[in-house]
Chains A and B, each alone.
Chain A
Amino acid sequence: MTVEVRLPTVLRPHAGGTSSARAEGATIGEVLQDLVRQYPGMAGQLITDGGQLHRFVNVYVNDDDVRYLEQLDTKVSEEDVVSILPAVAGGGQ
């Protein structure tokens, strides 16, 4: 199935400047892989070499953070909106 994926500003240049893309998949992992197939500039920014969700991004299905669901195995359906945002962190140490 195809879902809408909302892109953060930092990834938009890899997708021709668009704020929203469409990608296919039954799970978040498949959707993100399809996104990278369409926009190879995103490779390495969403999924690590080890096949995990990259720690510098947060991915949501509708209102829910997939880290609290089934991570990359989280299922998506046609009406879902997937959002990607940067993970924002740092500190004075």
Chain B
Amino acid sequence: MLRLTEPVYLRIVGHCLDGLPDEACGLLGGGPGTGKVTVCYPTRNVAASARVYTVDPKDHLKADRDAEGRGLEIVGVFHSHTHTEAYPSPTDVAQAPDPSWHYVLVSLKAGPPVLRSYRILDGKISEEPVVVEAR
């Protein structure tokens, strides 16, 4: 299960909407192994594309250091799909960097944003429930 604080949830969705028409991306900070994300790090998409994303490596380093300073770790990544479902694409699976991470997808395909979360282990995708908590 992935637990997001409400401010994190809103920041994820807001950053994805702000990124339109391109895909937007960012990193998620939390206590390792807790399944809870308490900090959202919006990052630049250096691919600047509606079809692919690459987290800006400098933003990643900054986020990693900030998380460490708070006693947290980067525990996942989020990105938007601007015209497909909130499900990992073959590219997402092939490039999933860390089996311990949560992979959050936000579909902006139609109507309100749809947020889902997955684990990706050895190329195998499994969806996990997402709970938004007040804090």
How many residue pairs at the A-B interface have CB separations less than 8 Å?
88
Inter-chain CA distance A10–B75, complex, in Å, is 11
- Please judge, given known A-B contacts A9-B98, A56-B95, A65-B57, whether A88 and B77 are in contact too, CB under 8 Å: yes
A86 CB to closest chain B CB (Å) equals 3
The interface residues of chain B lying within 8 Å CB-to-CB of A58 are 57, 60-61
- Most chain B beta-carbon neighbours within 10 Å: one of A9, A87, A91: A91
- Please judge, given known A-B contacts A10-B97, A10-B98, A87-B97, whether A93 and B52 are in contact too, CB under 8 Å: yes
**A91 near B49: Cβ-Cβ < 8 Å:** yes
With an 8 A cutoff between CB atoms, is B34 at the interface? no
**A92 near B51: Cβ-Cβ < 8 Å:** yes
Contacts beyond the supplied A88-B55, A90-B92, A91-B79: 9 A-B pairs with Cβ under 8 Å: A9-B74, A58-B61, A63-B61, A86-B97, A87-B55, A90-B52, A90-B88, A91-B89, A92-B52
